Amino acid sequence: MERPTWTGSDHLRWLKERMGPYLTDAVVITTGPAAYRRADGIAVIPASLLGP
């Protein structure tokens, strides 16, 4: 299973810190086969689950 690199998620963590409760969720879209939520709360969602 190919996993995304997390250098891009550094920006999502920064945004979460800056926005606080105003940011309801953070998501990384990937070509991987499975959706999951990371320990830091960022969701990882395969593009194939987003629709045709």
**pLDDT tens-digit readout, 2-52:** 565 666 688 888 998 999 999 999 999 988 889 999 988 899 999 999 988
Helix H segments across 1-52?
A: 9-19
Candidates 50, 27, 22, 23; CA nearest to 37 is: 27
Number of domains in the chain: 1
How far is residue 29 CA from its own chain's centroid?
6
Does 17 fall in a domain? yes
Does 3 fall in a domain? no
Provide the residue range defining the domain that includes 13. Answer: 9-50
> CA 45, CA 25: separation in Å to the nearest integer?
12
Does 28 fall in a domain? yes
* Cα dihedral 29, 22, 17, 40 sign: negative
Q: What size, in residues, is the chain?
A: 52
User: What pLDDT does residue 2 have?
Assistant: 54
Does 43 fall in a domain? yes
> CA 14, CA 31: separation in Å to the nearest integer?
24
